[in-house]
Amino acid sequence: MTASALLAALFVGSFFHINLGPEVKAPDPYDIPPAYEVTLSDDVRTTGSTSSVTPDIAWWTSFNEPVLNKCINEAFARNRDLEAALARVRQARAAFREARGNQRPNIGAEIDATRTYTKVGTTDDLNEQNMLYGLGAANYEADLWGRLQKATRAAKESILAAESSKNSVRLALASQVAKTYFSLRATDRQLLVARETLETQKKTVTLNKILYENGKISELELRRSESLAASSAVQVNNLEIALGKYENSLLVLMGREPKDFVTRDIPRGVDLNELPAPPHVPLGIPAEMLRNRPDVKTAEQNYKIALANLGSARAGQYPTLSFDGLIGNPGRPVSDPSDLLTGATGWSLAAQVFVPIFNAGKLTARTAQAEAAAQQAWSAYYKTVQTAFEETMNSINTHAKTQQILDILEEQQKLQGRAYELANVRYRDGLTSQLDLLDAERELLSVRLQLEGTRSDSLNSIVDLYTALGGGWSSRAPDDLEKRELQKPWVNKEKFSE
């Protein structure tokens, strides 16, 4: 037999095997409705129809805020959590290459050196040194029952799971950066309003002291104005604390160096009230968009991994067939490695069959563990889909209500501003006490601060909806690749035992 024939014989077993265990398919937790029927008020900005909604990966660009885009891009480039997720993907790919290599023979060159010393009677010592060369294929296992093939499939699914996990980290990172940035800008605005109000109140206190000394106002009016100014000073300090926390959080998310925490040099864009109108929420969101959620994909891949491991464990209970081969000359030294290519060689091939008879129940226990792991993976997948539905519906409802609250507060600010103007006029005309004016000023400050916070809440509710759906949405027509991805069928749940 020639060297090529021997190698062909060793390879042939890798292409034939019997599959054991369930096929790896996507599970179907329950019947998913074709679309969410979302009822929104007329005040909520909506657009499009269910059929026109497709995923939009770079969803944060829909806010039309260049500084936000810059912050997210910097986070993608430097965030440590994302770096770790990328490393896990590389690790999974390397593990897959190792598992795939286990399905093929291990071929290597073999060099043996021997030196012998003999002494017969009174003859001179005899020293002899031999060099033996060979080309070997050792410890190759024919994958008759698909054990190695299942292990390779599990490793391949692990790559997809690591990719989905990385995308989950990426989505969460973009969401955290966006929400932190919007909260930061809202706090900037609140701090500006609070400082302006405090300066006005300090001037009022100074004036009231003069009026009180001249007997123009009562001590009650003076003390109320001083108390209101002190309350505003506390509010300014609390807002400065919150601002520092948001800045530090953003620096961490963007992977900045420790020295940057001292200067806290963070770019600012336009005020939130100057941003274009937020993205329109579609009237109906297809339930299939939940498949875009990285955590759903990760849970699905983990379930597939568990099924592949189950098949591998079952195959491990069956006999194994392995080969040992050597191309060379087992009975005669080959002193020149070029002889391996000239035909002045021999070959050897040994086959070994191992049948597990008694192993104290280890193989059965291993299969039982794999079955339990598959059940756990299924339950985790089921729960992940439930959570996806819950978070999506909560996000849709929160966004709708937050938009309504924002509209109400904008109207309330106008009304309270007018009330303050009237109270100021009446006070100057001597028709009311300063206490009424101070109350109107306090209520106006409260409404203005609440309005700025709600603007951030409204934008953050859209971010939460993006996150719940695994990304954004677009009204453009999907391309062919997206259509294939969105139209993957859900198949029936696999059973874990035969």
Which residues neighbour 171 within 8 Å (Cβ) at sequence distance 6 or greater? Answer: 294, 467, 470, 471
Q: Would you mind telling me the total number of residues written for the chain in this entry?
A: 498
What does the pLDDT look like over 418-452, one tens digit per residue? 999 999 898 888 888 888 888 888 899 999 999 99
Evaluate if residue 63 carries a pLDDT over 70.
yes
Please give the DSSP secondary-structure letter assigned to residue 432: S
For residue 390, give every residue at least 6 positions away whose Cβ sits within 8 Å of its Cβ, in sequence order, or none: none
Q: What is the pLDDT of residues 139-182, one digit of tens each?
A: 555 555 566 677 777 777 778 777 887 888 888 899 999 999 99
pLDDT of residue 161: 77
Check: CB of residue 450 under 8 Å from CB of residue 409: yes
User: Is there a contact between 466 and 4 (Cβ–Cβ < 8 Å)?
Assistant: no
Contact 474, 56 (CB under 8 A): yes
∠ CA 457-397-388, nearest 5°, is 100
What lies within 8 Å, CB to CB, of 297 at 6+ separation is 160, 164, 167, 291
DSSP states of 83-116 as a string?
HHHHHHHHHHHHHHHHHHHTTS-EEEEEEEEEEE
66-75, 148-157, 361-370, 451-460: which range is least confident on average?
A: 148-157
As given in the structure block, the two tokens for residue 30 are 């329950």
CATH number of 3-111+127-486: 1.20.1600.10
- Beta-carbon count within 10 A of 139 CB: 11
Q: What is the DSSP letter of 16?
A: -
- Average pLDDT over the chain reads 74
Query: Is pTM, for the whole model, over 0.85?
Result: no
For 180, the enclosing helix (H) or strand (E) is helix 147-213
d(C-alpha 317, C-alpha 366), whole Å: 9
Report the distance separating Cα 47 and Cα 54, nearest Å: 13
- Distance (Å, whole) CA 89 – CA 100: 17
* CA 287 to each of CA 47, 117, 202, 353: distance values in angstroms, whole numbers, following the listed order: 17, 81, 56, 52
Domain positions in the chain = 3-111+127-486
